[in-house]
Structure 1
Amino acid sequence: MKYIEQMEVTKFDRNKPYDELPVLPPINDIENNPDILKRLVSASRALATVNGNLNRLPNPLMLINTLALQEAKTSTEIENIFTTEDELYKAISDTYRESKINPATKEVLKYREALWAGFSELQTSNKIDTKLIIRIFNQIKETTSGYRPPQAQVVIKRGESEFRSGEIIYTPPRKEGVIENLMENLVEYLNNDELYTVDPLLKMCIAHYQFEAIHPFQDGNGRTGRILNLLYLFSKGLLSQPVLYMSKFIIANKEDYYFKLGAVTQRNDWKSWINFMLEATEKTSLLTNSRINEILSQMDSTLEYGKEKIKWYNKEINEAIFSQPYIKPNLIGEIIGKSSRTTLTKYMNELVGNNILRPKKDGVEVFYVNEDLIRILEG
Structure 2
Amino acid sequence: MHRDAVGAYISSVAGGETVRAFVPAPLPPNPPLDLGGTRQTLLERATLALGRLDSISLLLPDPRLFLYAYVRREAVLSSQIEGTQSSLSDLLLFELDEVPGVPFDDVVEVSNYIAALEHGMARLRESFPLCNRLLREMHAKLMARGRGSEKAPGEFRRSQNWIGGTRPGNAQFVPPPPQQVEPCMAALESFIHGEADTAPVLLKAALAHVQFETIHPFLDGNGRLGRLLIALLLHQGGLLAQPLLYLSLYFKQHRAVYYELLDRVR
- TM class by shorter chain equals 0.7 to 0.9
Counterpart in 1 of 2:171?
Answer: 168
2:91·2:100 contact (CA, 8 Å) conserved in 1? no
Structure 1 residue runs of 4 or more that deviate by more than 4 Å after TM superposition: 11-14, 97-101
SS of equivalent to 1:90: helix
Does the 8 Å contact 1:31/1:198 carry over to 2? Answer: no
SS of structure 1 residue aligned to 2:110: helix
Aligned with 1:17: secondary structure? strand
Q: Does the CA contact (< 8 Å) of 1:31 and 1:202 recur in 2?
A: no
Q: Which residue of structure 2 lines up, in the alignment, with residue 121 of structure 1?
A: 123
1:222-279: per-residue Cα shift (whole Å, max 9, x none)? 01111111011111111111131310011110000000000011xxxxxxxxxxxxxx
Cα deviation for residue 38 of structure 1 reads 1.0
Decide which of 46, 50, 73 is 2:49's aligned counterpart: 46
Q: Which residue does 1:252 correspond to in 2?
A: 253
**Aligned 1:1-379 pairs, distance under 5 A:** 15-18=19-22, 20-30=23-33, 32-93=35-96, 96-97=97-98, 102-125=104-127, 127-142=129-144, 144-149=153-158, 152-158=159-165, 167-176=170-179, 178-193=180-195, 195-265=196-266
What is the CA-CA distance between 1:36 and the residue it aligns to? 1.7
Shift of 1:54: 0.6
Kindly state the Cα deviation for residue 25 of structure 1 after the two structures are TM-superposed. 1.0
Structure with larger Rg: 1
Taking structure 1 as the reference length, what is the TM-score of the superposition? 0.60
Aligned pair in 2 of structure 1 residues 106, 232: CA closer, same or farther (>3 Å)? same
User: Residue 21 of structure 2 aligns to a residue in which SS?
Assistant: coil
**Residues 137-158 of structure 1, C-alpha deviation per residue, up to 9 Å, x if partnerless?**
1110015441001xx2311114
Structure 1: state its 5+ residue gaps.
1-10, 266-379
SS in 1 for 2:265: helix
* Alignment correspondent of 1:341: none
* In structure 1, C-alpha distance between the alignment counterparts of 2:173 and 2:246, rounded to whole Å: 27
Query: Cα offset for 1:103?
Result: 1.5
DSSP-derived class of the 1:27 partner: coil
TM-score computed with the length of structure 2 as normaliser:
0.84
Amino acid at match of 2:161: V
Partner AA of 1:202 in structure 2: L
Whole-Å Cα distance in 2 between the matches of residues 140 and 132 of structure 1? 12
How many residues align? The count is: 243
Identity %: 29
Distance 2:30 2:172 in 1: 24
Gap change, CA 1:175 and 1:72, over 3 Å in 2:
closer
- After superposition, give the CA deviation of every residue in 1:313-358 in whole Å (9 maximum; x if it has no partner): xxxxxxxxxxxxxxxxxxxxxxxxxxxxxxxxxxxxxxxxxxxxxx
CA RMSD of aligned residues (A): 2.3
What are the Cα deviations for residues 193-213 of structure 1, in whole angstroms up to 9, with x where unaligned? 2x2111111000111110001
Q: State the distance in 2 between where 1:234 and 1:126 align.
A: 13
Task: Determine if contact 1:68/1:244 at 8 Å carries over to the other structure.
Answer: no
Cα deviation, residue 89, structure 1: 2.1
Q: Distance in 2 between matches of 1:35 and 1:210?
A: 24
* Alpha-carbon distance between aligned partners in 2 of 1:39 and 1:99, rounded to the nearest angstrom: 42
Query: Counterpart of 2:132 in structure 1: which amino acid?
Result: T
